[in-house]
Structure formats: C-alpha cells, structure tokens
Structure 1
Amino acid sequence: MKSVNGKIWRNSASLILLSKRYRDFVSCRSGSVNYDVLLQTRAVSASFPNSVVFPGGVAEPVDENVDWLHHLQSFGYTQNDFNAFHLANTPSTPIFQPDPIKRHISLRITAIRETFEELGVLICSRTHKGKKTQLSADLISDIDIKSWQKKVSSNPEELLNLCKEHKCYPDIWSLHFWSNWLSPVALPKRFDTAFFVAALDNEIPQISNNSEVTDVKWSSPQEILEKNLRKELELYPPQAYELNRLIHFSDIDVLVKYAAERSSSGCELIYPVVVEAKDGKIHVLPGDDLYPLNVNYKEGANILHPEKTILELRENCHMLHRLEITSLKEFKTEFVFRNHHPPDHINMGDKIISVNSTLHKNVK
C-alpha cells in the first residue's frame, strides 16, 4: 500500500517460535519459564540491520494462491476449518481486509515460508486432519533442506511444489494469531506485520540460516530482555513489547493454550503516534489518553506539546500506554503502562520497562 507522501508499507508476517526448555527446568529465578524463543540477528544488508528479531518477512502474492486451499483440503481440511481462523462478526485490522479468512491463511503461509527461507525450519505436517489433535507445530526435516531452502528463497512458488512433492502441507493451524503492528510513518521502510505464536514440543530443529541472518539463538524471554538491558543486543519496540508479554506465562502449555483460544478473536492494531515533548518524543499506543480518536495511518501527524516535558505529560494522564524516548544528553527509552486494560489481550499491569532500542536512530 502506498501513502500520499510516497512512502510504502508492505504486509508481512512474523513468527514467535517457542520450544519447550528441558535444561534448567527447575529454577528459583524470578521470571523463569520452561520455554525458549527463537530469535535471529539480521545482517547489515537486510531489513532491520544488526537488530534481533523474530523470523518472518514480506507477504508474496503466491501466498494467496487458491491452489493452497485445494492442497490443504486434500489432507481433510474443510471450509469450517478455514472459518475457525476468524470469528464471524469480529472486527479485524486492515491487514486482514477485505477477506479475513483468506488473509489469515495466506499470512500464516507467509510466516512459515519466510521462516524456512531464513532458517531452514520447515513448519509443515503430513498428518491428516482427522489424526491431528495437538496445539504444537509439526516439522519436516527428512528432505534436502538446503536445496529446497535455496529454491524457495529464489522463487516463493516453490514452497507449494515442495509440499506436493513431499506430501506435506504448511501447518497453519499450529500458528496462533498474537498481535498486529504497523510501522510509524517516519521509518524509511514500513511494514504492517501480523505476529503469530507457534510452539514445538520435543524436536529442536537444525538451523540453516541464509545470508540475511548472521546469528540464531534459542533463549528464554527473560534472558533476551536482560541482555537487552545490558546493551548486549538491540530490540525494536515490537519485539521488546511482545517478549514482555510472553513473560506473563511461565509454562509453555498454558501460553499456547491462551494463544490458541484468543487467536480467532483478533486484536487492535498497534500503531505508534508520535507526541513531541519539550525533552523528547513519546510514541503513544492505542488506549493511551493522548492517543487520537482518528488516526491517519498513511500520512501521520505529530502531536505537539513543546511546553511540557515527558514526565509532565505522564503525570497529567490517567491511562498510559506509551513508549517514551528522552533525548536530552543521552537516549532513554521506556515503555510506560498505567490503568491500561486491553479487552483482547494480556493486562501488562502498572509498570515502567526500560528498553535498549534502535528506534531513536531511525525515527526523525
């Protein structure tokens, strides 16, 4: 989609891939969990250079190919199974319009395809619908991963050929819709991204990363956030936010059950609106007292409060859901939550969360 000022955002999908942790299962540390998250460091030449992100990428037209429906139906899936992705009469964010069911299917295929292209992890299944009961994801590893990874990276249409040849299908029912973020107008590249959660049960896949990825690690959400605070790695705000959501769950089974139960209910679009204060900027998020009633996602318009500091604007508001970026002397970035009770997702409580973010380097 192109905005009137010539800037473009592209639809994309990102996968929060979890794996049950068997090492250090019993721990007295605060915030300990029994699962790890897969994150990758992007190369300098890639989108979001040098940052740590979840696997994923841009949607391609082939992800909406009707042949995918026919292929999935050959494994016993029906229109009722497709309809389960989105509850009737439930509002959906723009990324799922004009056909929410079609977009839920295609964006899951995008997330699976991009994860395979980047990491060689193929989230596909050979199990007929009538025999598939678990919420966790299946993996296919008994193929020539590197050869197919190269083919799919060169031509996204090859994923369908892979599935036909090896009698498998993208395990889209193991991906649970989690959130939707749209990049701010000021970023040089904009993405409207659907985030999905998927969990692996026992098998830890072998990683075969491509040239866009320089490092891949499994770590607990708390470990990643602690490294971020120590400035050992940088996170963009969506990744930092979602990792802080994940740590509300110590058990992977509880987390996946929650993700599956809320997946078809949708959620609000998280789009930061910039407020310029005396000593920095605030990215207000939906529900914040300063968030505008009408938002122009294409052009954007900063809200000006040059006479007040970030702290003064915080103290004058009752409901806070924002990212504060103090720009005097040194950059200080913090998520601030107060009295924010989202109707469709986790209540983060009243807290201030420090983040080592690359955002201030990119948003003018």
Structure 2
Amino acid sequence: MKRAIERRWRDSASLIVLAKRNVDAISKSNTDACNYDILLQTRTHNASFSNSVVFPGGVTEEADASDHWLPLFTNFGYTKRDFEALHRPGSPANPIFKDDPVRRHIALRISAIRETFEELGLLICSTEHKNNKPDIWSGILSNVDTKHWQSKISKNPSELFNLCKEYNCYPDIWSLHYWSNWLSPVTLPKRFDTAFYVAAVKDKPANIQSSNEVVKVEWDHPINLLERNTKGEVILHPPQGYELSRFSHITDLGKLISFARNITSQGNELIFPIPIRAKDGYVFLLPGDHLYPANVDYNAQIITKDKTTKELRDTTKTLHRLEIAGSERLIVVHNYTPKNHINMGNQIKSVNITIHQ
C-alpha cells in the first residue's frame, strides 16, 4: 500500500444513528416494512458536502486519542478485555486502524460522538456502570447545557472530556458498532478516510439543537430515502447512497443491530472508489470488481478507457462498481460477495448520487 506516500486526506468518523419507528407509521399489512429510521442532516452551502444529506460526523482531533479517556472508562467498570473486544486479533485492519487498531477504534468512536454532539446536540454518553448497561441502546445524556458545550467543544475538542468529568459520564463507545470504511476518490477536492459506525437509540430525542453548519435534520427509513433520492428530492454522495442500499436489505432494527454487533470487531474491506473515464461517463470501481487493481495507488491519476460504461461490464466476471452515464447513476453488483458484510446479491440499482469529476 502507498498510503504513507503523499497522503492527501484527513481521517474522520461518521455516526449512523438508528431509532425504532412509530408503530403507527408502519403498515400492519406490510410485514416487510422497515421498522427503523435513520438520522440525517443537510449541510449548509458553505460546509463540507454542501447541500447534501449526510450522516453526522467529521474529522478526528488529537483530543479524541488522549490517554485521559482510558482511566475514565475504567472508572465505569470497563477493562482491558472490553477494549480489546473492539478489534479481533488477526482481523484485517484498514490503514485508518493501522499500528494500534484498538486505540484507533476508541479514538474514532469518540470522534464520531463528539462531532454528532457538535453538529446536532445529540450526546451519545452514559452515566451507567458497565454492569448496568442495556444490550442494544446507546445512552443519551439530555440534561446538559447543550448550546454552551457545543460552543466550547467546537472551539476546543478537548472540552468533551471536561464535559464528561462535570456530568460524571463517558462516551458510550461500546454502543457504537463499526460498519465500514470509505476513502474519498482522487476526483474529490477534499478527501477523507472515514470510519462509519452504527448506533441505536431507544427513543428519538425531542430537542435536537443543530449547529450553524446544518440547515435541516430529519429521520426517515432507508427505503423511503432511496425513493426520495431517485425522485431528486434529496442529494446523496456515494457512501450515503451505497450504505442506505445496504441497510434496505435488513428492515428490522433488532436484526440490523445484531448483525452490526457480530461484524464490528471482524474488519472489512476499505472502500476506495477508483475512477475510470469512459466514452459516455465514469465508472468507479469498488473492491472485488474484476478490474480493481491488486496493488492500489491511492493517489493515482484517473484511468481512461475507449469504451462506454456498459461496454466495460463483463457479466462473466465479478462486478462491483458505480456507473455514471448521462442522467443514469447506478450501483452495479454481480457475482460479488463482500467480506463480513451484507450481501446485496446481483443488482443494477438506480441511485441518484453526486460525484465530483
């Protein structure tokens, strides 16, 4: 891997927050209906990923990896074994977790929690001792002076630790389950290596206080979001469009969280889209595609092919790619089985994704 050479991106973490849907919103006649919603926000025009619907999150900070956190967790009953459970020995570790996967998972989970609070005022923290923690739900601390602490933490990320000391709580990192890792393609002006985590809250918080970088906050289920996206009602970037497609294959919240808990320490493939400029548009190769290189250069120039996007398909081989041609935006999967993740089967799915070219 050439990640250490000319590194042109920043590490970041994103949190996919799920909550049980109101039973009145689910048709009793439709047993396949999705019974959970996902928390999404729309960024302002001058923020990163402007005017697009994204999961809360942002770049990591040194304070997220501070040694102060470990004694705090220990005070609430967490042990070395709990820390080590975040990454199974022998599991693949993507570059964002290299050198010390356990410590990196701790820091990135704290990043995701901190950024979610900064952006939405939703504080995924707990005051419960480990022995009293519920199996599924993330803790939410609601009795804080949200605007005051949002301002302080935004100016100085280390203030999250001071908040935890004042309210005798800790970031509820064990309720976050590692989901995926995306590295922005070379076509993006700003690039991020992002670890995505999944968490479930028992009740949707009533008072979300978004920052000035967020113009809209909403809850919706993945199937409806994809339908709205196809109609052009919401703008999605590739990670959001792809992950929502994955979520749509598990419509029960309990089963989804159980699946996420099972894969969280096992690791999975780094999703780094590699662009090919075709005659009629672009193909973005994803890991496992038969054209995906064995040795990846994360800063390579765009490849050009004298074929159309459809001509570059070969259904006798493995396909795992995004295609952009004219008004078509497609996820194409054929004969692809992911490592430690949801198998979406063979599909050519329309997803209205936005990609900088």
1:135 Cα deviation from its structure 2 partner: 2.0
Unaligned 5+ segments in structure 1 are none
Q: Check 1:324–1:248 CA distance in 2 against 1; reply closer, same or farther (3 A cut).
A: same
Q: Is 1:21 matched with 2:17?
A: no
1:202 Cα deviation from its structure 2 partner: 2.9
Q: In the alignment, residue 95 of structure 1 is paired with which amino acid?
A: I
Q: Which moved more, 1:96-105 or 1:204-213?
A: 204-213
What is the distance in 2 between the residues matched to 1:321 and 1:84?
31
Q: Check 1:295–1:133 CA distance in 2 against 1; reply closer, same or farther (3 A cut).
A: same
What is the distance in 2 between the residues matched to 1:317 and 1:95?
34
Q: Is 1:315 matched with 2:306?
A: no
1:151 Cα deviation from its structure 2 partner: 1.1
* Alpha carbons 2:137, 2:202 under 8 Å: kept: yes
* Alpha carbons 1:2, 1:9 under 8 Å: kept: no
Aligned partner of 1:188 in structure 2 is 189
Q: In the alignment, residue 337 of structure 1 is paired with which amino acid?
A: V
**Secondary structure at 1:196 match in 2:** strand
Q: Is 1:333 matched with 2:332?
A: no
**Secondary structure at 2:312 match in 1:** helix
* Alpha carbons 2:181, 2:193 under 8 Å: kept: yes
What is the distance in 2 between the residues matched to 1:206 and 1:200?
14
What is the distance in 2 between the residues matched to 1:19 and 1:203?
6
Aligned partner of 1:241 in structure 2 is 242
Q: In the alignment, residue 135 of structure 1 is paired with which amino acid?
A: I
Q: Is 1:206 matched with 2:202?
A: no
What is the distance in 1 between the residues matched to 2:54 and 2:203?
23
Q: In the alignment, residue 90 of structure 1 is paired with which amino acid?
A: S
Q: In the alignment, residue 339 of structure 2 is paired with which amino acid?
A: P
Q: List 4+ stretches of structure 1 deviating above 6 A.
A: none
| Alignment map for 1:219-298 (pairs within 5 Å) | 219-297=220-298
1:27 Cα deviation from its structure 2 partner: 4.3
What is the distance in 1 between the residues matched to 2:205 and 2:247?
20
What is the distance in 2 between the residues matched to 1:36 and 1:3?
40
What is the distance in 1 between the residues matched to 2:226 and 2:20?
19
1:247 Cα deviation from its structure 2 partner: 1.0
Q: Is 1:324 matched with 2:323?
A: yes
Q: Is 1:304 matched with 2:300?
A: no
Q: In the alignment, residue 134 of structure 1 is paired with which amino acid?
A: D
What is the distance in 2 between the residues matched to 1:167 and 1:40?
29
* Alpha carbons 2:14, 2:112 under 8 Å: kept: yes
1:29 Cα deviation from its structure 2 partner: 5.2
1:82 Cα deviation from its structure 2 partner: 0.2
Aligned partner of 1:150 in structure 2 is 151
**Superposed CA offset, 1:163-202 (max 9, x none):** 0000000000000000000000121000000000000113
What is the distance in 2 between the residues matched to 1:225 and 1:30?
19
What is the distance in 1 between the residues matched to 2:143 and 2:315?
59
1:42 Cα deviation from its structure 2 partner: 0.5
**Superposed CA offset, 1:98-151 (max 9, x none):** 110000000000000000000000000000012114121010001211111111
Q: TM-score, normalised on structure 1? A: 0.94
Aligned partner of 1:349 in structure 2 is 345
Aligned partner of 2:34 in structure 1 is 33
**Secondary structure at 1:313 match in 2:** coil
What is the distance in 1 between the residues matched to 2:31 and 2:321?
25
What is the distance in 2 between the residues matched to 1:75 and 1:203?
25
* Alpha carbons 1:125, 1:139 under 8 Å: kept: yes
What is the distance in 1 between the residues matched to 2:185 and 2:56?
20
* Alpha carbons 1:121, 1:205 under 8 Å: kept: no
**Secondary structure at 1:311 match in 2:** coil
Q: TM-score, normalised on structure 2? A: 0.96
Q: Check 1:292–1:79 CA distance in 2 against 1; reply closer, same or farther (3 A cut).
A: same
1:30 Cα deviation from its structure 2 partner: 8.5
| Identity level (%) | 52
Q: Check 1:107–1:84 CA distance in 2 against 1; reply closer, same or farther (3 A cut).
A: same
Aligned partner of 1:358 in structure 2 is 354
What is the distance in 2 between the residues matched to 1:132 and 1:58?
28
Q: Check 1:277–1:28 CA distance in 2 against 1; reply closer, same or farther (3 A cut).
A: farther
**Superposed CA offset, 1:208-236 (max 9, x none):** 00011000000111111111000011100
What is the distance in 1 between the residues matched to 2:29 and 2:244?
20
What is the distance in 1 between the residues matched to 2:327 and 2:4?
31
* Alpha carbons 1:15, 1:55 under 8 Å: kept: yes
1:28 Cα deviation from its structure 2 partner: 4.2
* Alpha carbons 1:337, 1:351 under 8 Å: kept: yes
* Alpha carbons 1:221, 1:244 under 8 Å: kept: yes
1:302 Cα deviation from its structure 2 partner: 2.8
Give aligned pairs, total.
Answer: 354
1:316 Cα deviation from its structure 2 partner: 5.8
Q: Is 1:119 matched with 2:120?
A: yes
What is the distance in 2 between the residues matched to 1:237 and 1:67?
36
Q: Which moved more, 1:260-269 or 1:330-339?
A: 330-339
What is the distance in 2 between the residues matched to 1:103 and 1:300?
26
What is the distance in 2 between the residues matched to 1:38 and 1:62?
26
What is the distance in 2 between the residues matched to 1:119 and 1:35?
19
What is the distance in 2 between the residues matched to 1:292 and 1:50?
33
